Structure 1
Amino acid sequence: MPVRPAAPPRVRAVCCTCAHADAARADAVRADRPGGGPVSETASTPEPSDGEDSPADSARDSVRDSVRDSAGEPLRRPRAESGPRPHPDWAYPGGGYKHEPLLADLRADPPAPVRTGTLGAVLATGLLSMLLLGDGLAINLLIVAVPAALAAYFSAEQAGRRPRPWTLTWAAGGLALLAVPALRDAGWPSFLAIVSAIALGSLALHGCRTWPGVLLGPIGLFEAVLSGLGWGWRGARSRASGSRSGPVLRAVAVTAVLLLVFGALFAGADAAFAGLLGDLMPDASVADGPWRLLLFAVGVVGALAAARTAAAPVRWDRLVVGPGRERGRVEWALPLIVLNLLFAAFNAVQLAVLFGGYDAVLEKTDLSYSAYARQGFWQLLLATLLTLVVIVLALRWAPRAGARDRGLVRAVLGTLCALTLVVVASAVRRMDMYVEAYGLTRLRVSVVAVELWLGVVIVLIMAAGVWGTRWLPRAVAASAAAGVLAFGLLSPDGLIAERNVQRYEDTGKFDLEYARGLSADAAPAVDGLPEPLRSCALEGIAKGLGSERGPWYATSLGEARAREIIEDRPPTAPSAGCARTGEETSYR
């Protein structure tokens, strides 16, 4: 039987109006998709079979016949223009990829809710800051730091963090550094101690053990200032709406009222008790109200930042610094071996000068004793710093393929460190020579302390070459903090005065103008000078102290001792006589 030819496929007619509607609907769907891109042409509902017409087909056919152009020809659907290729999701603000902040990978889980003890410690920190920090820095700074540390402890305990040995070490070191302002009147060692205490507090809160953590830890503490405010506010609101907050607040209010009422009665009944309360309580007036409020805000914000960091610290240890490209043995070792030979030659000359005497060297160089010492120290200090940079870069590019490479690295860098220690000793000896000629000053004692600490760092690097480097970042940080603490406890201004008084006893030379600018820590040493030098030196120190005593919590031990010395034996020399005495005893 003959095969019936298949019917041609039916072509569905689409009108212009429907085409525009379909295009608009496709654009809307494309805009709602996360990544954009073309819309599939597949119909969302099944089409009717070819054997029958749907009502929609009939309607489109009637519209097609009625829509024609001016020439009588039916309007054709324009060909869709090919749009741009779809972009990845991150190219669209509403796309599937969400931009994370820089610290997202470093931050721990969200902090636990604030507990009542944390809020109480934060409030105590703010109140103590408002009452005690407005008259100067001394033991009051340590008093304010105690509730702030308690706030951090309560917050860490709420988050499930337990203190570790290094955490306790950093916390104890930070509190010990805050004792320096309580002991010394000089501002510059106190400033170093406060900055170091903040750094140690950051290490205690973050628990870092790598170089990025040790160096970047304080950034995380300051970053928590803004987030800590919101965290504390949410905790305060939740606690205020709780059932247990009412009794606590009422108890605090009743306690305050009882203390005020009975304290005022007892103060009016006994003058001695009134004097005791006057000494214990800070002086506050309406005029310094804004300043006190600012101190309260600083205390609260600082305590909240510490507590927020303890609850969810930034994990700086997750920052991984990859090793540098490994170099060949010859490329790596040759420059360092030549540098070692140069160091060895310099150290040999230094030993020859040490045992042969400086007189021959001074005759050959045509330099004075002090000029020779001054010229050498700064170059040797810079050489020590550059050596540390060389060691860091050498370790980054060192060969590390096997045991032989590791042995080569230890031998070359160990030799360089040992030779650098001789350079450190030579630099300290140069400065000692200069001090013998011109006396001790703040700059000279500071740079000697830095040089000695660099020597300690080099010794730690040598030890790390034997026992590994895992402990090195924390050891270097601990050595720096210990150096700052020792520097403050030794009283640099007092040490300067003692050394210069001793030099006056040996040579009869004394820099009176410089001694008058020292802090109250120098008063005990200056008190041993003969008149009129004693009165002239103490007169400058007395002017720096002023006539009014500060409160007990804002008075350092050095200031208290200086006031006792001045009150027992007040300065008597006139100013004109001091100028003449200074010219007679000057080094020039």
Structure 2
Amino acid sequence: MSENTDGVADAAAGDAVGGTAADPAQPAPATAGPPAAAGPPADSAAGSGTAAAPEPTPAQPAAPSAAGSAAGSPGHGPAAGVAPAGWDPKAWRTYQVRRQRAESGAWSIAPLAWAEAARPGRAGPVPTAVLVCAVVAGIASALFLGDGLGPGLLLAVVPAIAAAYVAARTARRTARPWTLVWAVGCVALLAVPALRDAGWPSTLALLAAVLLGALALHGSRTWPGVLLSPLGFVDATVLGIRWAWSGLRSRGSGVDRSRWLPVAKAALVAVVLLVLFGALFASADAAFADLLSGLTPDVSVGDSPVRFLLFLLGALLALAAARAAAAPSRWDRIRVAPGKPRSRVEWALPLVVLNLLFAGFNAVQLAVLFGGYDKVLESTGLTYAEYARQGFWQLLWATLLTLAVIALALRWAPRAGAGDRGFVRVVLGTLCALTLVVVASALRRMDLYVDAYGLTRLRVSVAAMELWLGLVIVLIMAAGVFGASRLPRLVAGSAAAAVLVFGLLSPDGMVAEKNVARYQQDGKIDLAYFQSLSADAVPALDRLPEPRRSCALRGINNELSRGGRVPWYAMSLGEYRARQILRERPVKASYEVCSSLGTFHSRTIG
């Protein structure tokens, strides 16, 4: 079956192209006149990298007459693939499939309206370079990702990026500034696993890289586009398989053997020579054998199933990226209708009351700030840490709920004229400004809490999230002044930038640095907590005096020892530095000494 390159499924898929509410299997009749011609395929919209305007739904002719129904019924004449006179071919195919399903009792459902609106455009023939890049991406994934993430992740993704670039150039898509920003950000995020050993920043970086990669391929600008763009990889994977299969079939019958056979023979001879002489030199010299074993991936028969799955994953990722680059989904066609505008009193009264509540709370916070914490703590009977811990989480939730309130308020805001728009800016701008004070108060409480109990992964994570929420509020305020057209992309970009900075700053290293500084200041340290940190914490923990240094590094050292020898393409920079430090200054303290210092006490720290 040939590929349905214009994004409309073939008869077996049964997509909806028109239909009535009473009978979705029957195309809707036209009101009058001849049927409208189907619009041209959306190659230009897909090729430009921008969202096209929704295509008008072609009007359908009246239902066939009794004379024509026999010829137009399934299994007769036009059922072989030719639509009768007056029928749109797509609507005719859809009608036939649904009628057959209705007669056979088969279940079917019309596609969602948003999926129909975002359907990708037509893609041209798959370039040969894309097929080659897909194979190379599969091989690189199988070789470099079987032992873990690290620099090998970048090596495995480079062929997929090349496939997307070739497909976009073939489709004559032009790179816009935002596309370059998303692409560079995606590559930068993929470098985080190569730099940091901690798994949680790397996971966040991979998720953010998927988002930026989807935005680079689909060119989305609106809120639906930004939120739904990652889903385009699913559709692009299915279409990419069909796209590649169609290209392979078209090349199978007309392969120019005189052109490709010499290249294949030369490549085969080169591989044989490399294997033969490489094995001879490795057996002749131990140093060369050690170098060769360190550079080449270690592949065994036992991990062949995993390597094969990684090959499929890498090849499918490259095909999906190329297919999306050639003909992206048009997520920006999805339109969310605004809510019913409310009157000024109905809309503003709850927000004004909320603003007054925020103002009262912030006044108390400012009084505490200038009046000193001692007076407040004396009157409440709380310690610094208890006072900080008591309110941080509530203030974090208050910030999140405020963003939800702003989103709902904008949906039902009055918008009769310029006066209403100015009124909305004043009310919501006041709420945003007061919320920034709440964010500052929450961060100050976290600072007090960290001074009392030290820094942990959870605390640094929620503090980073609170900072990003404050940045989002600033972006909302700027959108009220300069326009909201760029707000979805700015929010997505700020989230990705926050994840990138979070990973580059090494949160585990920050936790270790802060706690070591705290120990040097007041002699307090929790050695048990360090056992769960990653190798990124080793440089900071290495500054502790013995035996606390060895006890703090004991868990990390055991984890690295259990991992054995790790190839270069699976080792992060943080792990490499940790192994060097532990090799030069091994862990010396005994189990009994570390146990007496509380190293193995199991506890959970918030």
- Normalising TM by the smaller chain, what interval? 0.7 to 0.9
In structure 1, the partner of 2:409 is 394
3-state SS in 2 of match to 1:582 = coil
In structure 1, the partner of 2:88 is none
Q: Do 2:121 and 2:329's aligned partners in 1 also have CA atoms closer than 8 Å?
A: no
Question: Quick one: which amino acid aligns to residue 430 of structure 2?
Answer: T
Q: Do 1:511 and 1:587's aligned partners in 2 also have CA atoms closer than 8 Å?
A: no
In structure 1, the partner of 2:549 is 534
Which range is displaced more, 132-141 or 364-373? 364-373
Which one of 352, 369, 394 corresponds to residue 379 of structure 1? 394
Which one of 217, 232, 235 corresponds to residue 223 of structure 1? 235
Q: d(CA) in 2 for partners of 1:424 and 1:466? A: 21
In structure 1, the partner of 2:488 is 473
Q: Do 2:552 and 2:599's aligned partners in 1 also have CA atoms closer than 8 Å?
A: no
Equivalence map 1:385-534=2 (5 Å): 385-534=400-549
Compute the displacement of 1:583 (Å).
Answer: 7.6
3-state SS in 2 of match to 1:461 = helix
TM-score (normalizing by structure 1): 0.82
Compute the displacement of 1:535 (Å).
Answer: 0.6
2:99 counterpart of 1:93: yes
3-state SS in 2 of match to 1:113 = coil
Question: Quick one: which amino acid aligns to residue 585 of structure 2?
Answer: R
Compute the displacement of 1:249 (Å).
Answer: 3.0
Q: d(CA) in 2 for partners of 1:95 and 1:240? A: 35
Which range is displaced more, 472-481 or 573-582? 573-582
Q: Do 2:531 and 2:554's aligned partners in 1 also have CA atoms closer than 8 Å?
A: yes
Q: d(CA) in 1 for partners of 2:504 and 2:553? A: 22
Which range is displaced more, 304-313 or 379-388? 304-313
| CA displacement, residues 206-251 of structure 1 (integer Å, 9 cap, x when unaligned) | 1101100100001111222222222112222333443244444334
2:335 counterpart of 1:288: no
Q: Do 1:185 and 1:556's aligned partners in 2 also have CA atoms closer than 8 Å?
A: yes
Compute the displacement of 1:108 (Å).
Answer: 2.9
Q: d(CA) in 2 for partners of 1:107 and 1:255? A: 45
Q: Do 2:548 and 2:594's aligned partners in 1 also have CA atoms closer than 8 Å?
A: yes
In structure 2, the partner of 1:196 is 208
Compute the displacement of 1:568 (Å).
Answer: 1.1
Compute the displacement of 1:549 (Å).
Answer: 2.2
Compute the displacement of 1:399 (Å).
Answer: 1.0
Q: d(CA) in 2 for partners of 1:512 and 1:270? A: 46
Which one of 298, 301, 326 corresponds to residue 313 of structure 2? 298
Which range is displaced more, 327-336 or 223-232? 223-232
Equivalence map 1:243-282=2 (5 Å): 243=256, 244-268=259-283, 270-282=285-297
Question: Quick one: which amino acid aligns to residue 554 of structure 1?
Answer: A
Q: Do 1:384 and 1:420's aligned partners in 2 also have CA atoms closer than 8 Å?
A: yes
In structure 2, the partner of 1:579 is 595
Compute the displacement of 1:273 (Å).
Answer: 3.5
In structure 2, the partner of 1:319 is 334
Which one of 370, 390, 415 corresponds to residue 385 of structure 2? 370
2:561 counterpart of 1:549: no
2:245 counterpart of 1:239: no
Compute the displacement of 1:109 (Å).
Answer: 2.3
In structure 2, the partner of 1:158 is 170
Compute the displacement of 1:33 (Å).
Answer: 5.4
Change (3 A) 1:104 1:584: closer
| CA displacement, residues 58-95 of structure 1 (integer Å, 9 cap, x when unaligned) | xxxxxxxxxxxxxxxxxxxxxxxxxxxxxxx7996159
2:579 counterpart of 1:563: yes
Compute the displacement of 1:156 (Å).
Answer: 1.5
| CA displacement, residues 252-276 of structure 1 (integer Å, 9 cap, x when unaligned) | 3333234334434544555444333
| CA displacement, residues 161-219 of structure 1 (integer Å, 9 cap, x when unaligned) | 12211111111101101111111111100111111111111111111011001000011
3-state SS in 2 of match to 1:517 = coil
| CA displacement, residues 400-446 of structure 1 (integer Å, 9 cap, x when unaligned) | 11111111011111111111000000000111111111111111000
Question: Quick one: which amino acid aligns to residue 457 of structure 1?
Answer: V
Q: d(CA) in 1 for partners of 2:418 and 2:151? A: 54
In structure 2, the partner of 1:109 is 121
Change (3 A) 1:91 1:522: closer
Compute the displacement of 1:390 (Å).
Answer: 0.7
Q: Do 1:350 and 1:426's aligned partners in 2 also have CA atoms closer than 8 Å?
A: yes
In structure 2, the partner of 1:174 is 186
Question: Quick one: which amino acid aligns to residue 581 of structure 1?
Answer: L
Q: Do 1:139 and 1:181's aligned partners in 2 also have CA atoms closer than 8 Å?
A: yes
Q: d(CA) in 1 for partners of 2:190 and 2:328? A: 23
Compute the displacement of 1:367 (Å).
Answer: 2.1
Q: Do 2:185 and 2:212's aligned partners in 1 also have CA atoms closer than 8 Å?
A: yes
2:344 counterpart of 1:332: no
Q: d(CA) in 2 for partners of 1:439 and 1:92? A: 65
Q: Do 2:368 and 2:376's aligned partners in 1 also have CA atoms closer than 8 Å?
A: yes
Percentage of matched positions with identical amino acids: 63
The gaps in structure 2 that reach 5 residues or longer are 1-64, 75-94, 103-107
The gaps in structure 1 that reach 5 residues or longer are 1-25, 36-88
Q: Do 2:528 and 2:599's aligned partners in 1 also have CA atoms closer than 8 Å?
A: no
Q: Do 2:147 and 2:570's aligned partners in 1 also have CA atoms closer than 8 Å?
A: yes
Compute the displacement of 1:31 (Å).
Answer: 6.1
In structure 1, the partner of 2:133 is 121
Q: Do 1:111 and 1:308's aligned partners in 2 also have CA atoms closer than 8 Å?
A: yes
3-state SS in 1 of match to 2:341 = coil
Q: d(CA) in 2 for partners of 1:30 and 1:146? A: 55
Q: Do 1:34 and 1:95's aligned partners in 2 also have CA atoms closer than 8 Å?
A: no
Q: d(CA) in 1 for partners of 2:97 and 2:155? A: 53
Q: d(CA) in 1 for partners of 2:245 and 2:436? A: 54
In structure 2, the partner of 1:86 is none
Compute the displacement of 1:288 (Å).
Answer: 1.4
Question: Quick one: which amino acid aligns to residue 278 of structure 1?
Answer: S
In structure 1, the partner of 2:157 is 145
Q: d(CA) in 1 for partners of 2:534 and 2:98? A: 63
Question: Quick one: which amino acid aligns to residue 165 of structure 1?
Answer: P
RMSD (Å), alpha carbons: 2.6
Question: Quick one: which amino acid aligns to residue 99 of structure 2?
Answer: P
3-state SS in 2 of match to 1:351 = helix
Q: d(CA) in 2 for partners of 1:215 and 1:151? A: 24
Q: Do 1:438 and 1:587's aligned partners in 2 also have CA atoms closer than 8 Å?
A: no
TM-score (normalizing by structure 2): 0.80
Compute the displacement of 1:558 (Å).
Answer: 0.7
Q: d(CA) in 1 for partners of 2:175 and 2:347? A: 43
In structure 2, the partner of 1:309 is 324
Question: Quick one: which amino acid aligns to residue 170 of structure 1?
Answer: W
Q: Do 2:468 and 2:498's aligned partners in 1 also have CA atoms closer than 8 Å?
A: yes
| CA displacement, residues 342-362 of structure 1 (integer Å, 9 cap, x when unaligned) | 111111100000111112112
Change (3 A) 1:527 1:92: closer
Which range is displaced more, 488-497 or 276-285? 276-285
